[in-house]
Structure 1
């Protein structure tokens, strides 16, 4: 039997290679979070007053509910738009799949700030959307399309669309072509094949994309600040206001900690759900 040519690294050498990454992780990620929790819990002694005040404040509760509602709707809209795009990429020839993928991914090369400003141009009173609506006779006067939750949902869904399309596309690519063909050959309709074969097998990608878009939208700052305005303030904007305008670091840190805890809980639930899903498939 031929011996393997692979060489295993010694323990100290492996640790030395991983050490730079570990240092970066500790000082760039862990240490700021520890400091954040410390500011929210120690003022200067240990106290939970900041959490009681934030959780008991009606205005803060409205912001939390709005943030979760808008993020959920953003993920749902991105799923409705992204799934057909991913399915079209899967069923297209390689060249056209590459073109569609490029159209999805190229906006990632553009700053979120630029894309958000583009939506303000489109949705303003003398923008392209109002001009089209008036030219078609749908409206007689310009509509107020900016600075509301609907505008935030549409613009944020556009920003998050690549993060929805690519996980779904990878799940669809993993489905063997023989399975849909077998369903069609046995007399099933295209809708039945999609509902009973393609959609269940693509569920991991759907869940991963939905969770990614939802979690990232929870902490979105640029798009809600530019498109939503004060009447549609979300949690990231509220945190920025507390720290940069009111200089209330304790309250800003408390809001950030609560958002971090909520995201951690969602990730744990998703991880547990995926484990159960794998057990069911086995």
Structure 2
């Protein structure tokens, strides 16, 4: 049986640390929740301040809203897929490399995050335009006869978003793979499992927590992207964030913009719950395995 004195001491210690964190929790909670409740209230008001459900009826009956929703999901899913395809092999290579080499490569991977997102986005605009470095190089090599449409479209926005999110995906995946006991992998190899079988049946299941966390970061973060689609999309790519901005700047419609904001928040909450459920299922599967 547990010692009652020890339990009281542990309870007292937990209360002490909660007390230390309480001021920060209150400040962060109020700062985060107050604007959300204000936007929620605005979404149910007319311009004259009267209560109404018309803002939600207007946005849900508009084809532009559903088009923006589809564009948002397409951008987020496409960014996630590319980050998984590029990030998992990179994280695996880093986890298998010497720690000193891995740390140096990680610094290179993190370098883009030290630069303003606006600067990086306009950098991609210079690289991807019709007379930019990418098209000029491909034409010089004889690969293309006409410049490729790499900017002011979905492709340009996707490239910029992937460039921003890839480091944020690699970090948790690399951390999870680095924590895997090498003896487990060597045991699987000694029992006849080849490289790809070890990856599929040992490494990826054990790194499922990092994979889920990285995927959640990428997908949820990109749902609210604004600058990159606005610049690299050239007005042709309009996710919900851009529609919110145009609803405010063009029509000064706080009610409609707030309703769109709550729709985006609902989408984020649904995505968060889905990833949390996936992570829990993956953890239970690894535990029982």
TM-score range, shorter chain: over 0.9
Counterpart of 1:125 (choices 126, 130, 134) is: 130
* From 9, 12, 24, the counterpart of 2:27: 24
- 1:151 to partner: Cα distance: 1.1
Change (3 A) 1:14 1:211: closer
The CA deviation string for residues 198-236 of structure 1, in whole angstroms up to 9 with x for no partner, is 122112211111111011101011111110121111111
* 2:214 is the counterpart of 1:203: no
Q: Distance in 1 between matches of 2:234 and 2:159?
A: 15
Deviation at 1:23, TM superposition (A): 3.4
Matching residue within 152, 156, 179 for 2:157: 152
For residue 57 of structure 1, the aligned residue among 55, 62, 74 is 62
Structure 2 residue 268 is the aligned partner of structure 1 residue 273: no
Give 1:22 shift: 3.1
1:57: how far off?
Answer: 0.5
In structure 2, how many angstroms separate the alpha carbons of the residues matched to 1:269 and 1:79?
Answer: 18
Which residue among 62, 76, 94 is the counterpart of 1:89? Answer: 94
- Once the two structures are superposed, the pairs formed by residues 57-206 of structure 1 within 5 Å of their partners are 57-206=62-211
- Three-state SS of the structure 2 residue aligned to 1:146 is coil
Work out whether residues 83 and 169 of structure 2, in 8 Å CA contact, stay in contact via their aligned partners in 1. Answer: yes
Over 3 Å counting, the alpha-carbon distance change for 1:167 and 1:132 in structure 2 is same
Where structure 2 has 5 or more consecutive residues not aligned to the other structure, the ranges are none
Please, what is the CA RMSD of the aligned residues?
A: 2.2
Q: Deviations over 1:63-122 (max 9, x none)?
A: 110110111001111111111111111011011101111111121111111111110011
One of 211, 215, 218 as aligned partner of 1:213: 218
For 2:279 and 2:171, locate their aligned partners in 1 and report how far apart those are by CA, in whole Å: 18
Q: Could you tell me whether the CA contact under 8 Å between 2:205 and 2:282 is conserved in 1? A: no
* In structure 2, distance between residues paired with 1:75 and 1:273: 15
Shift of 1:183: 1.6
Any unmatched runs of 5+ in structure 1?
Answer: none
Structure 1 range deviating more: 139-148 or 149-158: 139-148
Evaluate the alpha carbon distance shift between residue 42 and residue 154 of structure 1 in structure 2; reply closer, same or farther with a 3 A threshold.
Answer: same
Give the counterpart of 1:38 among 22, 41, 46.
41
Q: Is the 8 A contact 2:87 2:166 kept in 1?
A: yes
Which shifted more, 142-151 or 152-161? 142-151
SS of the residue corresponding to residue 230 of structure 1 reads: coil
Partner Cα separation in structure 1 for residue 147 and residue 43 of structure 2: 46
1:238 is aligned, of 243, 250, 256, to 243
* Mapped contact 2:208–2:282 kept (Cα < 8 A): no
